[in-house]
Structure 1
Amino acid sequence: MGSTLNESEARDLIFSHAFSRDCAGRVGVELEWLVDVDGGGTGERSRAGLTESVSLLARRAGARLAGDSLVSLEPGGQLELSTRPAGSLSACVDRAASDLATLRALATAQGLVLRGAGLDDRPPRLRIAHPRYLALDQYYRQVGGQGRALLCSTASVQINVDAGDHSSGWRGRNRRWALVNVLGPVFMAMFANSPTNVRGRQVRSGRQVLRLATDPARSGPLPPSDDPRSLWAEHALGTRVVAVRSLEDGAWEVPCGRLTLRRWLRGGGPRPVQASDVRAHLKSLVTPVRACGHLELRMIDAQGGDDWVVPLAVVAVLLDDAQSSDAVWRLLGASAVASGRTGWRRAAETGLSDPALAMVARTVMHIALEGLPRLGVPSWALDAVERYADAYTLRGLSPADRRPAGSAAVA
């Protein structure tokens, strides 16, 4: 049994966990995929048998990925491929592409198809009965809204970059935090890929509209800050606890009422707080930019085919190429990008049909295209970014504009 924590000790733990490495330059990616039976259908094979098929695929892939990526299952049976942190964008791209090719081949051999889209149009179904997922499902039923759809019907490209150091330039922690949070709505609009009808009108990123509307204190954006560590600690302390794990049998129980971590630390919970409780709570925080030792960008919808490489490359060059970072920093200083909760929601709804967002997105893409050759990315990846820019960003479009609401692109 671990030792208990008081509020000051918990704050210190959160503070150190949020930005734990004073470095910049590493990058990783988590690719989530919706999974279908090849050929579609709604029978026993495509519904009841899908859970077993996806679980088998994850086990087989875990033993065969040369790039040492991890394969895991999300609550609705979505498949996630997570690379290890790489020392360069080029290395990250190579590992992800190699391991994804293996995963796709294994999926094909099992009669499965990986779909790259932000939102599944099928009814949400909790397929993976992990105790933590069951607790999350119960919690969201208490909160209301469409929590099960959030858990079971969404997929994203999550990009992980170093949080930075104490310097004031492109490597600096405060600047990197500010940059990704101000750029977040732009990225969301550029890569919107979940067109959905919401109350009679089409939104470009239904996934993000869903996320921002479901338990917004947990999933909503945080502002730029001169002290992001303290900002994150306050956010963690003030957010509701999803579930408390029993010290006897390990079962998860959703607490009654609005039990925040701070209230629990002050004696309002079922038992004293341990370090493992704080760590579990931190995993439940799903802001568009999450501070978890590094910065995890969670606002980008899953992409069709190999277009996952485009947001990965764009984010990495804007954060980790000094010239590109300086250029986009100057751009944001001269632009009026709305990064509050209203700005994030508008970006999810309108995509690049918003003229102001479209103008910033075009400039951001030009900066990225100019900087990527300096990072030595594989030629196919650079070609993919150029094709995407020409097909979408430079025309004021995102993938959602080329698909009917409620559909999903095949990977």
Structure 2
Amino acid sequence: MARDTTDQTPVTSLSELTEYLAGGCKPEEAFRIGTEHEKFVFYRADNSPVPYAGARGILALLEGMQARTGWDPIIDAGNLIGLVSPTGAGAISLEPGGQFELSGAPLETLHQTCAESNGHLAMLREIAEPLGIRFLGMGGSPKWTLADTPRMPKSRYDIMTRYMPKVGSQGLDMMYRTCTIQVNLDFSSEADMAAKMRTSLKLQPLATALFASSPFTEGKPNGLLSWRGEIWRDTDNQRAGVLDAVFRPDFGFADYVEWALDVPMYFVVRDGRYHDCTHVTFRQFLNGALKDELSDPTPNMGDWTNHLSTLFPDVRLKRFLEMRGADGGPWRRICALPAFWVGLLYDADALAGADALTAGWTHAEVVALRDAAPAKGLSAEIAGRSLHEIGREVVALSKAGLQRRARLNGDGMDESIFLLPVEEVLAKRATLAEDMLARYHGAWNGSVEPVFADYQY
């Protein structure tokens, strides 16, 4: 997330929190696609991580991007920690370990999404090249230890870094040593939101398997295909995972609010300063728990929207839905991940087909599938069927949905062309992680160093 929200409107009732989410409903013709992607930043000379400060640091990248884009700076305690377009054309932010993220503009087609990502990467390379910097597209840091990994000067991350070890064993790895590709999609009504959230939540383990690209940790195979997916199994289970309420036929905005209210907060912002609030839930905040700790203890809508951004279910609900199950990866996957979900969720027939395919899956079965996918990938099973078998059906539904959307590029090709990387995985029955492992045991001679050349942007 590029910038935390400031909205001083007081919260006077729980219904306002539900109404905030419902305010995301929009007509189908206004649906947009928002794609986010993160990448590791390294020096090409020795594949070492790039620190924040210094003439060849991440700050210099941000300053170069600001000069080229003209975007507004995001300042935290005097430090430049991101950029945001004044016209809503996107934002650039830093993840805790220096992962460089583009949060793309809300766009109408996947052709625009892919052009946006390619334009961003081309500009970033021009700025980075004189600094000796390159970028790596993987789901997990393949070489650096936590001690090796730099820390970005961002106040919310300071709070999270102190808190994570109290609530899970892998929260710091999540923060500092993972990257993702994510797409944010719209809904037209409460029923549409529920159908999309239910279906996509059940299918996130499939996305984890299809996009698995994190088989190495600290220079060696880690026994997994998606280390990132495994990390999320014990990061902070109060705010992450597979929400059981979504499986109820009457699930709606109010149910998500009720869950979110009882998740511990991370912070509130007052007078530009971040206050650690990890000891209270938002419900307790509403009931006056911080009245002796803050100069202004009245919860406001900015506090609520910031709290929503600190929740980590596999599908996150804001005024749109965020698909959170996939590893980061090479540039073609920046276009493939949104294509996979747009085809399924923005076409009524594809959504109905995916909903029917997963209708019998219980919450316990989906949790078990989510637990299995990081290690087993496409061989993980649910209801007696492998993810490879299910994936072929789901990708076919997505492809048909994209073809029915009929959004063509200048050469007359529809958006289904962006599914090719996923179709290749299914055709080979091998994930990118398995390709990497084969090369590690073959041409790479037991070294992870070649990933920095072979999978860089």
TM-score > 0.5, shorter chain as reference: yes
Separation in structure 2 between the aligned mates of residue 52 and residue 130 of structure 1, nearest angstrom: 19
Q: Does 1:352 align with 2:374?
A: no
Report what 1:154 is aligned to.
Answer: 178
Residue from 284, 287, 299 that aligns with 1:266: 287
Report what 1:136 is aligned to.
Answer: 160
Offset of residue 366 of structure 1: 2.0
Report what 2:223 is aligned to.
Answer: 202
Separation in structure 1 between the aligned mates of residue 306 and residue 56 of structure 2, nearest angstrom: 27
Offset of residue 195 of structure 1: 1.6
Deviations 1:87-110 (A, max 9, x none): 233332332332332223332343
Alpha carbon RMSD of aligned pairs, Å? 3.1
Q: Does 1:183 align with 2:183?
A: no
C-alpha change, 1:278 and 1:22, in structure 2 (3 Å) is: closer
Deviations 1:151-191 (A, max 9, x none): 1111100100003325x6xxx22211212111111111111
C-alpha change, 1:338 and 1:100, in structure 2 (3 Å) is: farther
Q: Point out which structure has higher relative CO (alpha carbons under 8 A, 6+ apart).
A: 1
- 8 Å CA contact 2:168–2:237 kept in 1: the answer is no
C-alpha change, 1:330 and 1:3, in structure 2 (3 Å) is: closer
Offset of residue 129 of structure 1: 0.9
Report what 1:402 is aligned to.
Answer: 435
Report what 2:331 is aligned to.
Answer: 305
- 8 Å CA contact 1:51–1:127 kept in 2: the answer is no
Q: Does 1:165 align with 2:198?
A: no
Matches for 1:278-289 after TM superposition, within 5 Å: 278-289=304-315
- 8 Å CA contact 2:38–2:179 kept in 1: the answer is yes
Separation in structure 2 between the aligned mates of residue 253 and residue 235 of structure 1, nearest angstrom: 23
Offset of residue 253 of structure 1: 3.7
Report what 2:419 is aligned to.
Answer: 385
C-alpha change, 1:88 and 1:110, in structure 2 (3 Å) is: same
SS of the aligned residue for 2:391 comes to helix
SS of the aligned residue for 1:372 comes to helix
Normalising to structure 1: TM-score of the pair? 0.85
Aligned residues: 397
AA aligned to 2:432 is P
Offset of residue 17 of structure 1: 3.0
- 8 Å CA contact 1:35–1:114 kept in 2: the answer is yes
SS of the aligned residue for 2:375 comes to helix
- Structure 1: which 5+ residue stretches go unaligned? none
AA aligned to 2:429 is G
Report what 1:252 is aligned to.
Answer: 274
C-alpha change, 1:201 and 1:39, in structure 2 (3 Å) is: closer
Separation in structure 2 between the aligned mates of residue 35 and residue 380 of structure 1, nearest angstrom: 33
Q: Does 1:54 align with 2:84?
A: no
Greater shift, 78-87 or 99-108, is seen at 99-108
Q: Does 1:330 align with 2:333?
A: no
- 8 Å CA contact 1:197–1:203 kept in 2: the answer is no
Q: Does 1:145 align with 2:169?
A: yes
- 8 Å CA contact 1:335–1:360 kept in 2: the answer is no
The percent identity for this pair of structures is: 24
Offset of residue 72 of structure 1: 1.6
Separation in structure 2 between the aligned mates of residue 105 and residue 363 of structure 1, nearest angstrom: 41
Deviations 1:200-250 (A, max 9, x none): 9612211121122011111222132432312210121110112344x4x54
Separation in structure 2 between the aligned mates of residue 279 and residue 368 of structure 1, nearest angstrom: 31
C-alpha change, 1:69 and 1:277, in structure 2 (3 Å) is: closer
Offset of residue 119 of structure 1: 0.9
Report what 2:34 is aligned to.
Answer: 28
Normalising to structure 2: TM-score of the pair? 0.77
Matches for 1:19-98 after TM superposition, within 5 Å: 19-23=22-26, 24=28, 25-42=31-48, 53-65=57-69, 68-98=89-119
Separation in structure 1 between the aligned mates of residue 299 and residue 432 of structure 2, nearest angstrom: 45
Q: Does 1:364 align with 2:390?
A: no
Q: Does 1:174 align with 2:194?
A: yes
Offset of residue 294 of structure 1: 0.4
SS of the aligned residue for 2:195 comes to helix
Separation in structure 1 between the aligned mates of residue 431 and residue 198 of structure 2, nearest angstrom: 24
Deviations 1:56-75 (A, max 9, x none): 21232245359933222111
- 8 Å CA contact 1:194–1:301 kept in 2: the answer is yes
Residue from 233, 256, 261 that aligns with 2:257: 233
- 8 Å CA contact 1:177–1:228 kept in 2: the answer is no
C-alpha change, 1:325 and 1:51, in structure 2 (3 Å) is: farther
Q: Does 1:111 align with 2:111?
A: no
Deviations 1:328-376 (A, max 9, x none): 2332236789664333222223211225221111111122233333332
Greater shift, 224-233 or 69-78, is seen at 224-233
